[in-house]
Amino acid sequence: MPCVYDHVTGDNMILMRWKKGDVILTTMLESSTVTEWSSQAPENFKNHVKLDFSRVQGKSYTFTMTIDGLKCTDVGQYSCVVVTMNSANELSASMAIGIIVSPGIPESNEDYFDAKENVTFNIRCSGNVGMPPHTINWKYSQKDTDVWNLVDPALVSQSNTLGQGDHCWYHGESKVTVTMSEALDGARYMCLIGDVVDDTHKNYDQIQLALQGKTTTSSTPLPTSSTLKPQPSVDDGSNAGVRPAPIHLLLLAFALAIVNNLTQYL
């Protein structure tokens, strides 16, 4: 990034400096021979940027910053400032450095969500939304249909966080507020970047909704053959008079009858 100041007769330069936003990166005095960083310059910027200053005495001055290996933290607005002896104001020229990164495919936090009727909840989707950050859009489709409708933007919110280190893209997290109803039972919500659904490359993710308590079943299980067991019979005495006597009791009664008959003859 070269900054060139053409000398105007009678308008002698005092200094040239580079800034990023409001941060002074380096200052070069007209009388200086060596380039130096200012105390405000970040270390992670200085370690991959080279400074070079040259002059054609009485004609022009060139102050160049060369970035070797662009990083995410290098993105921003830069300005070259010149202060002269006769100028009441600083002279400046600015330029912006940006990085363009294509977004990825957003992912939902779950594939299936069930809720009771009239319950309000949020479903979420997140991922690489590129640089500059793109918007994660939401669509929904009723059960057993392939017609996708755009979700009301008033129900959607998104936050973006710049990646750390060499991750030159934003991580976006989007959420949509849903109030469960019978009409949404079996409905699908889709999150995607852009408006076109690409089924071939699947540039989206989906969440299916289900209504809790729509069908009910008995909580008491029916008995099965494995649970049915023969029960022991209970005698309440009602059949005592017709029950046949045991054999050993009959034999004892017969023996007593014989003894009684014999005693009559004695």
pLDDT exceeds cutoff 60 at 250: no
pLDDT at 165: 65
pLDDT at 213: 82
Q: What span, in angstroms and rounded, lies between the C-alpha atoms of 176 and 184?
A: 14
Within 10 Å of residue 127's Cβ, how many Cβ atoms? 21
What digits encode the pLDDT tens for the residues 91-119?
A: 899 999 988 889 999 999 889 999 999 99
| Residue 113 phi, psi (nearest 5) | -145, 130
pLDDT at 9: 62
What digits encode the pLDDT tens for the residues 190-219?
A: 999 988 888 777 889 999 999 998 753 433
| Residue 58 phi, psi (nearest 5) | 80, 0
Distance in Å from the first CA to the final CA of the chain: 151
Q: How confident is the model at residue 88 (pLDDT cuts 50, 70, 90)?
A: low
Residue 138 near residue 151 (C-beta atoms within 8 A)? yes
What digits encode the pLDDT tens for the residues 31-69?
A: 888 899 999 999 989 999 999 999 887 678 899 999 998
pLDDT at 66: 96
Structural domains of the chain, ranges and CATH numbers in brackets: 2-97 (2.60.40.10), 107-211 (2.60.40.10)
**Three-state SS at 179:** strand
pLDDT at 184: 94
**Three-state SS at 213:** coil
pLDDT at 166: 67
Q: What is the mean pLDDT of residues 126-137?
A: 93
Q: What is the mean pLDDT of residues 235-248?
A: 42
pLDDT at 251: 40
Q: What is the mean pLDDT of the chain?
A: 80
